[in-house]
Amino acid sequence: MASSSSSSSSSLFRCFLHFFFFIISQVQAANLPFHPRDVLPLLPRQVSWPVLNSLNSPVDLLPSFVGSVSSSNRIVNWKGACFYENTAWVEFHNKTGSEFGGGTLHIKVSYPHSWTCMDLYVFATPYRVTWDYYFLSREHTLEIKEWQDKAEYEYVKNRGISIFLMQAGMLGTLQALWDVFPLFTNTGWGENSNIGFLEKHMGATFEERPQPWFTNISVDDVHSGDFLAISKIRGRWGGFETLEKWVSGAYAGHTAVCLKDSEGKLWIGESGHENEKGEDIIAIVPWDEWWDFELNKDDSNPHIAYLPLHPDVRAKFNETAAWEYALSMAGKPYGYHNMIFSWIDTIGGNYPPPLDAHLVASVMTVWSKIQPEYAANMWNEALNKRLGTQGLNLSDILVETEKRGSSFDELLTIPEQDNWIYSDGKSTSCIAFVLELYKEAGLFDPIADSIQVTEFTIKDAYSLKFFENDSSRLPKWCNDADNVKLPYCQIKGKYRMELPGYNSMDPYVHMNERCPSMPPKYFRPQNC
Residues 263 and 319 in one domain: yes
Residues 213 and 325 in one domain: yes
Assess if residue 93 is contained within a domain: yes
State the pLDDT at residue 62.
64
Assess if residue 1 is contained within a domain: no
Assess if residue 252 is contained within a domain: yes
At how many degrees (to 10) do helices 394-403 and 357-370 cross? 140
Q: Phi, psi (5° rounding) for residue 274? A: -85, 125
Assess if residue 512 is contained within a domain: no
Assess if residue 435 is contained within a domain: no
Residues 92 and 70 in one domain: yes
State the pLDDT at residue 15.
40
State the pLDDT at residue 465.
98
Low-confidence ranges of the chain (pLDDT < 50): 1-56
Residues 326 and 211 in one domain: yes
Residue where a domain terminates, one of 175, 209, 242: 175
What three-state secondary structure class fits 86? strand
Residues 317 and 392 in one domain: no
Q: What share of the chain is helix, strand, coil (3-state, %, to 5)?
A: 40, 20, 40
What CA–CA distance (Å, rounded) separates 381 from 392?
A: 8
Q: Residue 381 is part of which domain span?
A: 346-413
Cβ atoms of residues 133 and 118 within 8 Å: yes
Residues 315 and 370 in one domain: no
State the pLDDT at residue 322.
97
Assess if residue 304 is contained within a domain: yes
The separation between the first and the last C-alpha atoms of the chain, rounded to the nearest angstrom, is 62
Read off the pLDDT of residues 327-379 as tens digits, 9 standing for 90 and up: 999 999 888 887 778 888 888 888 877 677 777 777 777 666 656 676 677 78
Residues 169 and 141 in one domain: yes
Residues 294 and 197 in one domain: yes
Residues 315 and 204 in one domain: yes
Assess if residue 271 is contained within a domain: yes
- CA contacts within 13 A on the Cβ side of 151: 16
Assess if residue 431 is contained within a domain: no
Cβ atoms of residues 423 and 272 within 8 Å: no
State the pLDDT at residue 127.
81
Cβ atoms of residues 325 and 436 within 8 Å: yes
What lies within 8 Å, CB to CB, of 141 at 6+ separation is 104, 105, 106, 107
Report the sign of the C-alpha dihedral through residues 472, 474, 477, 482, in that order: negative
- CA contacts within 13 A on the Cβ side of 327: 9
State the pLDDT at residue 374.
66
- CA contacts within 13 A on the Cβ side of 72: 7
What CA–CA distance (Å, rounded) separates 514 from 510?
A: 9
Residues 253 and 325 in one domain: yes
State the pLDDT at residue 466.
98
Residues 135 and 283 in one domain: no
Q: Where are the beta strands (DSSP E) in 194-329?
A: 227-231, 254-260, 266-274, 280-286, 303-307
Q: How many domains does the chain have?
A: 3
Q: pTM of the prediction?
A: 0.74
At how many degrees (to 10) do helices 45-55 and 2-27 cross? 50
Residues 309 and 219 in one domain: yes
What CA–CA distance (Å, rounded) separates 463 from 499?
A: 8
In what helix (H) or strand (E) does residue 92 lie, and over which residues does it extend? strand 83-93
What CA–CA distance (Å, rounded) separates 17 from 412?
A: 45
